[in-house]
Amino acid sequence: MAKKALLRRLSDVDFRLLRVFRAVVACGGVSAAELELNISRSTISRHLTDLEFRLGSRLCHRGPAGFSLTEEGERIHAAALQLFSAIHVFQAEVDETNKDLAGHLSISFFDKNATNPSVKLPDAIRAFERIAPKVKIEVYVEPINIVETGVLNGRYQVGIVPMHKTSDNLDYHNLYSEAMYLYCGKHHPLFLKSDSDISRQDMQKQKYAGFPFHSPNMMASHDWKLKRRAIVNNEEALATLILSGCYIGFLPDHVAKRFVDAGDMCALRPDVYNYPSDHSAIVRKTPKMPKRVEKFIGCLRTAHEQ
């Protein structure tokens, strides 16, 4: 490790690496930070190595013997906490001095919700537009882990995801629920079978398509011991595999409805293979929410409560 620091000016990359370092220290190690950051241990280790190279100092000991900060790491960690605290104070002050609701609002959610009658996101956006017409809205559709990571690192200001685990660094606002069922396509061998003829063993022999990241989908497949033979990261891809007749998979009933109505798909043992998926809006606890984000969360909650 070089003795002389290579870092001369902070960049966006440095802020991202410092956020990872801060999370690892807060969690007490790389393994514990994996769930918090929603990225793999190898990626976290690479980020720490990159930060050490840029700073020219070894920051921590990590490995089978456990995690601990070096003397340099202690100083860098303390400085990083002061840096982020100052940034949070600055952002809050700027927001408070801005009389108009302006700037941008970045929203990210997981997959299809326009066909779910329980989703009132369009109503919330319409209400928000009336009170904050100057705000530029950005909307992204991402896998669950990307939404959560994006909110944690500040890429997205608001995320909407199925509830499956919680983070101490996020606030959660319950919004709506959707019903999940296990489906197969009309070319699948189970399509013409009656529910009474389908056993748990029959189901466990089928090729299952599902998500590779921590989610209600993954938890359900583990509970019922379904064997994943294909990986997808969104419901459009999942529906395509189910329609092929080669795979079974869980879909929200509102997504599957048009395929079921057309006779292209059916639910398998819906009395057994089903689960509710509760969705929440997520925002970072710190820094303090800008006024535009606070107002939008209020619009979201009001729309779904009504």
Q: β-strand 248-252 against 170-185: which pairing, if any?
A: antiparallel
Q: What is the pLDDT of residues 199-215, one digit of tens each?
A: 999 999 999 999 988 88
Whole-number pLDDT of residue 84: 81
Q: Which amino acid is at 193?
A: K
Average confidence score pLDDT of the chain = 90
| CATH fold of the domain at 104-176+278-305 | D-Maltodextrin-Binding Protein; domain 2 (3.40.190)
Confirm whether 104-176+278-305 and 177-276 share one CATH topology: yes
CATH 3.40.190.10 fits 177-276, yes or no: yes
Q: What is the pLDDT of residues 52-103, one digit of tens each?
A: 999 988 999 988 878 899 999 999 999 988 888 787 667 666 665 555 678 8
> How many Å separate Cα 164 from the centre of its chain?
10
Please provide the CATH number assigned to the domain covering 12-97: 1.10.10.10
User: Both tokens of residue 65?
Assistant: 């013997």
Strands annotated E in the chain: 60-61, 68-69, 104-109, 136-141, 158-162, 170-185, 207-210, 227-231, 248-252, 265-267, 274-284
* DSSP 8-state class, residue 156: -
Our CA dihedral for 165, 169, 174, 176, rounded to 10 degrees, sits at -60
Residue with tokens 């280790």: 45
What percent of the chain has a predicted confidence (pLDDT) above 90? 68
β-pair partners for 284: 170
Check: pTM over 0.75? Answer yes or no: no
Whether 244 has a pLDDT exceeding 50, the answer reads yes
Mean pLDDT of 205-231: 94
Best mean pLDDT range from 5-19, 48-62, 169-183: 169-183
Angle among Cα 18, 293, 236 to the nearest 5 degrees reads: 85
88, 97 Cβ separation under 8 angstroms: no
Whole-number pLDDT of residue 2: 42
Residue 215's SS3 state is coil
CB 187: neighbour CB atoms within 10 A? 11
> What's the sign of the alpha-carbon dihedral 134, 138, 139, 143?
negative
158, 296 Cβ separation under 8 angstroms: yes
Q: Would you kindly state where each structural domain of the chain is located, as residue ranges?
A: 12-97, 104-176+278-305, 177-276
The helix, strand and coil proportions of the chain, stated in percent and rounded to the nearest 5, come to 45, 20, 35
* DSSP 8-state class, residue 168: T
Whether 157 has a pLDDT exceeding 70, the answer reads yes
Whether 3 has a pLDDT exceeding 70, the answer reads no
Q: What is the pLDDT of residues 133-149, one digit of tens each?
A: 999 999 999 999 899 98
254, 115 Cβ separation under 8 angstroms: yes
Residue 263's SS3 state is coil
User: What CA–CA distance (Å, rounded) separates 302 from 104?
Assistant: 21
Whole-number pLDDT of residue 1: 46
Q: Which amino acid is at 129?
A: E
Whole-number pLDDT of residue 127: 97
